[in-house]
Chains A and B, each alone.
Chain A
Amino acid sequence: MLEIADLECVRGGRTLFSGLSLALRGGELLRVAGANGSGKTSLLRIVCGLLSPAHGEVRWHGGNIRSLREEYWKQLVYVGHSNAVKDDLTATENLVVACTLAGMKVEREQACTALARFGLAGREALPAKVLSQGQQRRVALARLLLSEAVPLWVLDEPFAALDATAVDCVETLIAQHVARGATVVFTTHQEAQIAATVALTIDLDTRAVSC
Chain B
Amino acid sequence: MLTALRCVIYRDLLLAVRRRADVATALLFFVIVVSLFPLGVGPEANLLRTIAPGVIWVAALLASMLSLGRMFSADHADGTLEQMLLSATPLGVIVVAKVIAHWLVAGLPLVLIAPVLALQFDLPQPLLGVLTLSLLLGTPVLSLVGAIGAALTLGLRGGGVLVSLLVLPLYVPVLIIGAGTVDMAAAGLGVEAHFLLLAAFLVFAGVFAPWAIAAALRISAE
Q: Which 7 A-B pairs have CB atoms at the shortest separation, nearest pair first? A: A103-B88, A82-B79, A84-B79, A88-B18, A74-B88, A100-B7, A101-B87
Q: Report chain B residues within 8 Å CB of A116.
A: none
Per the bound structure, the CA–CA distance linking A86 and B177 in Å amounts to: 39
A50 and B222 contact, Cβ closer than 8 Å, known pairs A84-B79, A84-B82: yes
Complex contact A50–B15 (CB within 8 A) = no
Q: How distant is A138 from chain B, measured CB to nearest CB, in Å?
A: 15
Tell me the residues in window 173-194 of chain B with beta carbons closer than 8 Å to chain A beta carbons: none
Complex contact B4–A50 (CB within 8 A) = no
Q: Does A83 contact B (CB under 8 A)?
A: yes
Per the bound structure, the CA–CA distance linking A83 and B86 in Å amounts to: 14
Tell me the residues in window 8-31 of chain A with beta carbons closer than 8 Å to chain B beta carbons: none
Tell me the residues in window 78-132 of chain B with beta carbons closer than 8 Å to chain A beta carbons: 78-80, 82-90, 94
Complex contact A76–B86 (CB within 8 A) = yes
Complex contact A88–B19 (CB within 8 A) = yes
Contact of A50 among B7, B85, B89 (CB under 8 A): B85
Complex contact A82–B82 (CB within 8 A) = yes
Contact of A84 among B19, B83, B90, B222 (CB under 8 A): B83
Q: Report chain B residues within 8 Å CB of A93.
A: 11, 14
Q: Does B46 contact A (CB under 8 A)?
A: no
Chain A residues near B (Cβ < 8 Å): 48-52, 70, 73-74, 76, 78, 80-89, 93, 96-98, 100-103, 105, 127
Q: Report chain A residues within 8 Å CB of B11.
A: 86, 89, 93, 97
Q: How distant is B160 from chain A, measured CB to nearest CB, in Å?
A: 21
A78 and B87 contact, Cβ closer than 8 Å, known pairs A97-B11, A100-B7: no
Q: How distant is B4 from chain A, measured CB to nearest CB, in Å?
A: 6
Per the bound structure, the CA–CA distance linking A52 and B3 in Å amounts to: 29
Per the bound structure, the CA–CA distance linking A167 and B90 in Å amounts to: 33
Q: Report chain B residues within 8 Å CB of A48.
A: 86
Q: Report chain B residues within 8 Å CB of A70.
A: 87-90
Complex contact A103–B15 (CB within 8 A) = no
